[in-house]
Amino acid sequence: MVAPVADRMDFPKAEEEILDYWKSINAFENSLRKAEGRPRYSFYDGPPFATGLPHYGHILAGTIKDTITRWAAMNGYYVERRFGWDCHGLPVEYEIDKLLGITKPADVLEIGIEKYNQECRNIVMRYSKDWENIVTRMGRWIDFKNDYKTMYPWFMESVWWVFKQLFDTGMVYKGFKVMPYSTGCNTPLSNFEAGQNYKDVVDPAVIVSFPIINNTDEAGVSLLAWTTTPWTLPSNLALCVNPTETYVKVRDEKRNKEFILMEKRLCSLYKTESEYTVSKRYKGTDLQGLKYEPLFNYFKHRGDTGAFTVLTDKYVTDASGTGIVHQAPYFGEDDYRVCLANGIITKDGELVCPVDECGRFTQPVEDFCGQYVKDADKEIIKMLKASKRLIDHQTIKHSYPFCWRSDTPLIYKAVPSWFVTVETIVDQLLENNSKSYWVPDFVKEKRFANWLKGARDWAVSRNRYWGTPLPLWISEDGEEIVCVGSIAELKKLSGESVEDIHRESVDHITIPSTQGKGVLRRVTEVFDCWFESGSMPYAQQHYPFQRKREFEESFPADFIAEGIDQTRGWFYTLLVLSTALFGKPAFKNLICNGLVLASDGSKMSKRKKNYPEPSLIVDKYGADAVRLYLINSPAVRGDGLKFKEDGVRDILKDVFLPWFNAYRYLVQNIERLQREEGIEFRHDETNWKLTDDYNYMDRWILSFTQSLIKFVRAEMAAYRLYTVVPRLIKFVENLTNWYVRMNRRRLKGDSGAADCQAAVETLFVVIYSMAKVMAPFTPFLAETFYRNLRNVIVGEVKEESVHFLMVPEPREELIDTNIEAAVSRMQSVIELGRVSRDRRTLPIKYPLKEVVVVNEDEGFLKEVESLRTYIIEELNVKSLTTTTDRAAFNVKMEAQGDSKALGIRLKKASKDVCKRIAGMSHEEICKLQDQGYIEVLGERVDVSEVRTKLVVEGSQNSHYEPNSDWQALVLLDCRVDESAKSEGLAREVTNRIQKLRKEAGLQPNDDISIYYEADKVLVEVVAQNQELINSAVKQPLLNKPPAAGDQVIISKEGKVKDYNLKVTLTARGNTVGMSFKTQSTGHQPKFCNISKDGEVATVVLEPQVGSGNFITYGSLCHLVKKIFNLKESPKLYKGSNRVTSSDNVADLDGIILAIGSGSVVATCSEPACRVVYAAKGEDVSAIVCENPVGKNKLTNTQVAELANCHDEGCKLYADIGLTNPL
């Protein structure tokens, strides 16, 4: 039997209970055990750093991952889900550097690498428990015990293996390149790391003069170059111009000097043409080879080898500056390339790179030595001004790269590094990218593909300490290199055994040279942590050393998901390594989510406190609400989400509460069937079929549910999570606002037991099916529903968790698209009619004469006619008229162009075309519909690109309130007569009673009496509409105040329109103080005694002796439940026969009923409980003074109060014969 459901649900508390339940049954572990032997669905979890707490971005990605993997598991797959941790690299080291006050590499060497790395170990899992708690609280099922950490030696060993495969195929080399460099972390970064943290900054923008020398034609003329990095000027070795652009020599009227700059860039220095005079024009090639005077003397000697010369290259553009770019080859990628190609520098020549690993100037730049380069800008500008080389000084706001970890400005700096060749496999990368499926697709086709097309060789080494060491041992002359691919290979080559392979464990190990070069020593670098995360498909399995079969069965991954920022991070490194190693992509399907922002669109900031803490939101609304809000957001489509608490609250209000109320209503009616009808509800999932007992609306909601299941399956196959929630919201609306509301009377049993069972069965099938379908999305709520509903399931194994079940396949035999279309049209008519009522301020309680539906489609009208009863009832009208005759109601058509479709096709012309369509006449619209197209402003417009609707013209039918959409025109006759007013008032009275019941917390099955006192008009209204009111409240209304001894539950008075009304609800059938009346002495009351586990109770069956009005079977069960404080409605037996709602309660008089089956029928001659009789004249009342026997006793004083024995002439007696006074 189902357990009763409270009126309200505390969603967060219920989720905590589910978490405890999952823990008690080892739910996740058991789900994996049950799935053993099924096909594998492989999933890779991108490893986060545990040095910070999870934020909404992590929660979003985690929710996507959990939803997809739960869905796969509930579709017959074995889904291994292992949590991963990124333990190495800058995030950890930066924290330790701050903690220990480390500012340069020498500081690390001073304390020792072993101690430094130990400090890193100590904090690397600082927040791991917080992560586990938050991830678990969000309902995510993932294995924390069998996790992987990038610092595990077995993980690192697989990273070595990956690198060795690349090395052995010639894809690894040592190079000297200009790279993004973090002065805050003292290490180069890869190009994709450099692109992760751009900020808008204000930098100096200077124009500097370079006087031409050794050229008599240009004596006294200076070349003008522009830069936003003055700190690179001390290292200038050349200038570069565009070979094909036009340059001009101008006389500066204000400065009385001659300058050369690009003609298109005169605006960089001059505001008007009057400020200069052009004296000569050149092509860029004309300037090639010109010599100029160096800005500084630090590297003046390089002029002897070709420096301080004008070069040409097409990378120089007319987009900014003067069109002449200064070249500092060791601080710019293009500078390095151009100077190397022109012989200004050589690969093995002297470096002009006077900046150390901390970003400070070194010798020979003596004027600024020791200064941080960015800080030196001011001093450099000051010196340029003093030497009269500074022509202009402004500032510029532009986007500039910052270190993603230290948040310090990056510089470009020439450093030696180990590279993995990527440029040679770009075509393969693009081909493999095309083999994967992305949501959203534009990220794959645009952003990611464009990044791949420009992919550079990958600098995989870092000059750091806490990471996987590069497994390269090299001779002193650099000519002999050995790449080690495993711990065993290292032992074989060196003779030393190690268990850990961090730097402190392997740096001292040497390998004998095979070429007579002494010993080989390991290079000092460690891997970029992105190389480790890109290796995780192999390293998490310790491939190829262990679990080789498991890896090969699960590669490529069926699914991965992370944020859009990983297009240049994890997604990229996964693809590069899988392509290089196996020639295939690392994943088949990918969901790329957008960023979660603060409500104002800014970045979430703990410092600004511009977003609510995730834990507080979960505690307030529950994890399911957060999950569904995130899944339904633009972020799942790759766009940004402005996080708003109201959005989470709306999910609770618009989806969960109505869904829960439908579930609660189902349980209440299952209980009512048991209690009042004696029908024990059971559902056979395997053998249940649709029969003639199911009405039109049953078939509709069943069809809609199966169509929804079909839709969700299709969308999940395409990994489109964001389309599911809108359909779920529509489903909940259809279920609660349409099906349940329109079938309340059936569900309550008003139309008979068989019809009631069909309605309850329908509601059960729908809610039970949706609990299974939505389990991956809302795991807590689905589990809550399932745990209760499974109690009435027969014919299949009752699993401990809904998550152990399979997502149901759609039952095609239940899908009827015609019924769905018809109901959709009915809903449209009803909603239009409701709006018309609202416009005229006519509450739905007041019946109206007629609703008219106008449509030229007879098929449409036929469908509306088939649902006439529902429309009449929902709009509370007396009749429904359908017609195709527009003229009778002065109806015409209006048209509106589909701006989206026309905009895509017609571009700018669409605006005028849409405007003309809106002005089309009725005849033109008819022509469009007849021929399927029409010419509009010279453009052919198809009927599919135009929407039409019917409208009423003029006011000749003013008593009709019109309303229309693109389906129909509805006319509501808004005249209200006296009978309508009377019925409306009766419904108002009914509404007051029902609200009072709800306010008192009463259940529909609670046994009460309803008393009312009102003005004469309302008394007449109630009398005229007694049947209508009784059918709703299930009790007669008594026009009098309650008796003095009645137990008042709630009483309220107020106004109904302009009339006074007081309603009082009292308890009927008290377990003690239970009374019954007779008109003369000697009439024995009708009663039965109830036996349970040695206790006996008494229930009065006829409150008014001799009246023939007996309590119902439901009231009997309710009273017994209350007397014995039972959790469920009792099963009563008369001997060995079960008492049900079909039994006559009057036949139970003098019977001893048992809770549980007995053997023979037992009888009794008097109540088992003590009864006191109160007599006043001919009226006699009897009061039950205990129940069960010996419990809940009343004193004589309490009995006297109940019997009103303070009245004159009222006396108490111990017997029905009134012979033994008290």
As a three-state string, the secondary structure of 52-111 is CCCCHHHHHHHHHHHHHHHHHHCCCCECCCEEEEECCCHHHHHHHHHHHCCCCHHHHHHH
Question: Is 566 among the catalytic positions?
Answer: yes
Contact predicate 186/105, CB 8 Å: yes
Q: How wide is the angle at C-alpha 904 spanned by C-alphas 901 and 908, nearest 5°?
A: 115
- 332-347: burial string, b at 16+ Cβ within 10 Å, e else: bbbbbebbeebebbee
Contact predicate 164/484, CB 8 Å: yes
Residue tagged active-site, from 570, 659, 700, 738: 570
Question: Is 469 among the catalytic positions?
Answer: no
HSE-CB of 1040 using CA atoms within 13 angstroms? 6
From residue 779, give the alpha-carbon distance in Å to each of 290, 774, 936: 73, 7, 53
Q: What is the predicted pLDDT for the residue at 652?
A: 92
The amino acid that residue 792 corresponds to is: V
Residue tagged active-site, from 397, 435, 606, 1193: 606
Please give the structure tokens belonging to residue 100.
């220990």
Q: What is the largest CA-CA distance in the chain?
A: 146
929: Cβ–Cβ under 8 A, 6 or more apart, which residues? 943, 948
Q: Helix axis angle, 696-717 relative to 753-773, nearest 10°?
A: 10
Q: What is the predicted pLDDT for the residue at 1079?
A: 47
Low-confidence ranges of the chain (pLDDT < 70): 191-192, 605-607, 950, 953-958, 966-967, 1003-1007, 1044-1047, 1068-1083, 1104, 1107, 1158-1159, 1201-1208
623: Cβ–Cβ under 8 A, 6 or more apart, which residues? 12, 15, 137, 138, 139, 780
The amino acid that residue 516 corresponds to is: G
What's the CA gap between 528 and 460, in Å, rounded? 5
Q: What is the predicted pLDDT for the residue at 708?
A: 94
Q: Helix axis angle, 623-631 relative to 56-73, nearest 10°?
A: 90
- Strands 1151-1155 and 1132-1134 turn out to be antiparallel
What's the CA gap between 1179 and 1081, in Å, rounded? 8
Residue tagged active-site, from 85, 161, 404, 530: 530
Residue tagged active-site, from 314, 603, 1057, 1193: 603
Q: What is the predicted pLDDT for the residue at 1075?
A: 52
Please give the structure tokens belonging to residue 324.
């002449």
What's the CA gap between 776 and 70, in Å, rounded? 5
Residue tagged active-site, from 327, 371, 540, 566: 566
pTM value is: 0.76
Measured in whole angstroms, the distance separating CA 247 from the mean position of its chain's CA atoms is: 57
Q: What is the predicted pLDDT for the residue at 1074?
A: 53
Residue tagged active-site, from 45, 86, 698, 1007: 86
The amino acid that residue 300 corresponds to is: K
Question: Is 45 among the catalytic positions?
Answer: no
Q: What is the predicted pLDDT for the residue at 1159?
A: 67
Question: Is 603 among the catalytic positions?
Answer: yes
3-state secondary structure 372-419: EHHHHHHHHHHHHHHCCCEEEEEEEEEEEEECCCCCCEEEEEEEEEEE
Contact predicate 537/576, CB 8 Å: no
Please give the structure tokens belonging to residue 443.
């990220």
Please give the structure tokens belonging to residue 899.
């701006």
The amino acid that residue 187 corresponds to is: T
Question: Is 47 among the catalytic positions?
Answer: yes
What's the CA gap between 660 and 653, in Å, rounded? 10
| Percent helix / strand / coil, the chain, rounded to 5 | 40, 25, 35
What's the CA gap between 1021 and 1056, in Å, rounded? 12
